[in-house]
Structure 1
Amino acid sequence: MLDWDHIFATRSSRMRASEIRELLKLLERPDIISFAGGIPDPALFPDAAFKDAYADIFSSPQVNAALQYSVSEGYKPLREWLVGEMEKIGIPCSVDNVFITSGSQQALDYLGKLFLSPKDTALVTWPTYLGALQAFNAYEPNYDQLTPNGNRTPDAYRDTAAKNGGAVKFAYLSADFANPTGETVDRQGREKVLDLADELDIAVIEDAAYQSLRYDGEPIAPLLAIEIARKGGIENTRTIYSGSFSKTLAPGLRVGFVVANMSVIRKLVLMKQAADLHSSTINQIAIATVAERIFDAQVAKIKAAYTARRDAMLAALAKYMPASASWTKPEGGMFIWVTLPAGLDGAELLARSLETEKVAFVPGQAFFADRSGANTLRLSFSCANEAMIEEGIQRLGRLIRSAEAKAA
Structure 2
Amino acid sequence: MLNWDNIFATRSLRMRASEIRELLKLLDRPDIISFAGGIPDPALFPDKDFKQAYAEIFDSTAVNSALQYSVSEGYKPLREWLIKELAKLGIPAGLDNVFIVSGSQQGLDYLGKLFLSPKDTALVTWPTYLGALQAFNAYEPSYDQLTPGGNRTPESYRATAEQNGGKVKFAYLSADFANPTGETVNREDREKLLALAEELDIAVIEDAAYQSLRYDGEPVPPILALEIARKGSIEETRTIYCGSFSKTLAPGLRVGFIVGNAQVIRKLVLMKQAADLHSSTINQMAIAHVAEHGFDAQVAKIKAAYSQRRNSMLSALQKYMPAGVEWTKPEGGMFVWVTLPKSLDGAKLLAKSLETAKVAFVPGQAFFADGSGANTLRVSFSCANDEMIEEGIKRLGNLIASEIAAA
TM range (shorter): over 0.9
1:149, 1:179 → 2: CA distance? 19
2:91 is the counterpart of 1:91: yes
What's 1:342 paired with? 342
What's 1:135 paired with? 135
What's 2:44 paired with? 44
What's 1:176 paired with? 176
Identity %: 81
2:35, 2:149 → 1: CA distance? 30
List alignment gaps of at least 5 residues for structure 2.
none
1:2, 1:46 → 2: CA distance? 49
2:325 is the counterpart of 1:325: yes
What's 1:144 paired with? 144
What's 1:355 paired with? 355
TM-score (norm 2): 1.00
What's 1:309 paired with? 309
Q: What's the offset of the Cα at 1:84? A: 0.2
Deviations 1:190-246 (A, max 9, x none): 001100000000000000000000000000000000000000010000000000000
Aligned ranges for residues 378-393 of structure 1 at < 5 Å?
Answer: 378-393=378-393
2:110, 2:229 → 1: CA distance? 27
Q: What's the offset of the Cα at 1:294? A: 0.6
Aligned ranges for residues 174-253 of structure 1 at < 5 Å?
Answer: 174-253=174-253
Q: What's the offset of the Cα at 1:14? A: 0.2
Tell me the amino acid that sits aligned with residue 62 of structure 1.
Answer: A
RMSD (Å), alpha carbons: 0.4
Q: What's the offset of the Cα at 1:2? A: 2.1
1:193, 1:31 → 2: CA distance? 45
2:263 is the counterpart of 1:263: yes
1:256, 1:120 → 2: CA distance? 26
1:78, 1:24 → 2: CA distance? 31
Q: What's the offset of the Cα at 1:58? A: 0.2
What's 1:9 paired with? 9
What's 1:277 paired with? 277
What's 1:164 paired with? 164
2:148, 2:350 → 1: CA distance? 31
1:350, 1:254 → 2: CA distance? 30
1:18, 1:192 → 2: CA distance? 32
What's 2:82 paired with? 82
Deviations 1:103-159 (A, max 9, x none): 000000000000000000000000000000000000000000000011000000000
Secondary structure of 1:5's aligned partner: helix
1:128, 1:341 → 2: CA distance? 20
Deviations 1:281-305 (A, max 9, x none): 0000000000000100000000000
Q: What's the offset of the Cα at 1:96? A: 1.1
1:317, 1:357 → 2: CA distance? 16
Q: What's the offset of the Cα at 1:3? A: 1.1
Deviations 1:15-55 (A, max 9, x none): 00000000000000000000000000000000000000000
Aligned ranges for residues 85-124 of structure 1 at < 5 Å?
Answer: 85-124=85-124
1:191, 1:371 → 2: CA distance? 29
What's 2:22 paired with? 22
Deviations 1:315-349 (A, max 9, x none): 00000001200000000000000000121000000
2:151, 2:324 → 1: CA distance? 29
2:73 is the counterpart of 1:73: yes
List alignment gaps of at least 5 residues for structure 1.
none
Tell me the amino acid that sits aligned with residue 354 of structure 1.
Answer: L
Tell me the amino acid that sits aligned with residue 200 of structure 2.
Answer: L
- Moved beyond 4 Å, runs of 4+: none
Tell me the amino acid that sits aligned with residue 221 of structure 1.
Answer: P
Tell me the amino acid that sits aligned with residue 122 of structure 1.
Answer: A
What's 1:58 paired with? 58
What's 1:372 paired with? 372
2:54, 2:2 → 1: CA distance? 46
2:267, 2:209 → 1: CA distance? 22
TM-score (norm 1): 1.00
Secondary structure of 1:148's aligned partner: coil
Secondary structure of 1:397's aligned partner: helix
Tell me the amino acid that sits aligned with residue 150 of structure 1.
Answer: G
1:14, 1:341 → 2: CA distance? 30
2:166, 2:370 → 1: CA distance? 18
Tell me the amino acid that sits aligned with residue 213 of structure 1.
Answer: L
Deviations 1:363-387 (A, max 9, x none): 0000000010000000000000000
